[in-house]
Amino acid sequence: MFLSLLPEYVKSIHKETMIRRMKRTGFTLLLALLALAGKAQDKAAATADTAFVFRFVPRKDVFYVPYAGNQTELNRLCAVLQAHIDHLRAGRMYISVSSYAATGNDETTAQRMAYLRSSRVKSELIQRMGITEQMFVTDRRIATPYADSLREVVVVAFPAGVEKIERIAGTKAAETVRSYYREIEEQQQTEAHARLAAEQQKQQELAAREAAASREAEAALRKAAEAEEQRRTEDERRRLEAEEQARLSAEAKPYTFALRANLLRWATLTPDLGIEWRVNRHVGILVNGSWTSWSWSDKDRRYALWKVSPEVRYYIDKEKRGYLGVMYHIGEFNYKLGETGKQGDYQGGGITGGYTLPLNSRLSLDFHAGIGYTHAEYDKYRVTDGVRVRGENQTKNHWGINQLGVTLVWSVN
């Protein structure tokens, strides 16, 4: 059956290959259009002016560089001009200077004030950049505010617009600028066409590689068809093995809840109980607790404690009897087995490990130990005439075995 479907499958490969080629051709054309559009935007950015605003003190013609952000604007402008200094010197770009809403004073008319301010800005640029007066096109006074709100300012625009260049510097200067812009546009178009041709060549090479890959795929399919019977037999064998493994796993489903009692604790007359919830075959969550309180010799001897210890285990191996886990414990104690007693609290945690030995279908023994860190704070005390006399306070940090047990486990379900 597989061999009978092979011709149809090969046809589908050819069909998909043709569709991919058509999509790639359309994508190539889209890239070309985007490239041309991007170059048009670059040209617009190259010819659009950038404005730099310099503020003047009302009724003053002196150009104060530190005044009202002028220093920052001047630095920005100088950086832009430096990047295009060759075009300025060649007459391919000009600098536009305009004075807006200048007001005169008792000695200077508004028209004269606008002229002086424009001259001050140009002089500063000539001195800093080494440029000449011929690189500027300067408006006479513009009475209205700049951008409808800024008064007493000189605005430098770069590059200057062609219309303004033609109006102030003349037709010859404007034609030089236009010729430069045409050169930029032609260069950008040439580069865009070259990129388009390179992309088309790349797509043709890719299509040739795909055709070769398609032929190789057909040969691989034929070879795969010859080995189909062998693979089918192997797959059937693996399927049967997987079914058997699933059956064994279902039979070995672990308990869900179990009650626990640490026999080592009970041996020291310390009741200990716990519960375990098996989330799944791998993960178990436990909580164990211990409590005892004994006194003798007319309460001169004391043995009391309580402890709570949650734990998370991960069961390993095929039968899920061995495990590793992490635990935390917290509790309080009061020991007085001699002349000096100790009373305080402790907490800590560590890594646990162990092995569960089944006794029957319900009972098992859990041999476990933990290693980690425990911090204890306690007071030493003595009892004199029935009165507890508190001594020094001490702390202890223990690294090592901090849990040990042989626990009887009874699975509830």
Range(s) of the chain covered by CATH 2.40.160: 257-411
* pLDDT of 342 strictly over 80: yes
**How much is the pTM?**
0.40
* pLDDT of 237 strictly over 50: yes
Those residues whose C-beta lies under 8 Å from the C-beta of residue 398, and which sit 6 or more positions away, are 348, 373, 374, 375, 376
d(CA 290, CA 262): 9
Q: Smallest Cα–Cα separation from 95: which of 127, 69, 57, 121?
A: 121
pLDDT band at 337 (very low <50, low <70, confident <90, very high): confident
* pLDDT of 17 strictly over 90: no
Q: What angle do CA 254, 260, 261 make, to 5 degrees?
A: 150
Range(s) of the chain covered by CATH 3.30.1330.60: 50-160
Average pLDDT, the chain: 85
Percent of the chain whose predicted confidence (pLDDT) is above 90: 58
- Of 19-23, 33-37, 67-71, 274-278, which gets the smallest average pLDDT? 33-37
Two tokens at 174?
A: 């404007």
d(CA 242, CA 153): 86
d(CA 14, CA 11): 5
Q: What is the pLDDT of residues 38-83, one digit of tens each?
A: 444 444 444 456 899 999 999 999 999 999 999 999 999 999 999 9
pLDDT band at 366 (very low <50, low <70, confident <90, very high): very high
Q: Who wins on pLDDT, 60 or 247?
A: 60
Those residues whose C-beta lies under 8 Å from the C-beta of residue 297, and which sit 6 or more positions away, are none
Q: What angle do CA 47, 53, 58 make, to 5 degrees?
A: 150
Mean of pLDDT values over 374-403: 87
CATH assignment of 50-160, among 3.50.50.60, 3.30.1330.60, 3.10.180.10, 3.40.50.300: 3.30.1330.60
Two tokens at 16?
A: 């998909």
Mean of pLDDT values over 99-107: 92
Rg value, the chain, Cα: 46
Hey, how many other C-beta atoms are within 10 angstroms of the C-beta on 2?
12
Sign of torsion over alpha carbons 128, 134, 135, 137: positive
pLDDT band at 29 (very low <50, low <70, confident <90, very high): very low
CATH assignment of 257-411, among 2.70.50, 2.40.160, 3.30.70, 2.60.40: 2.40.160
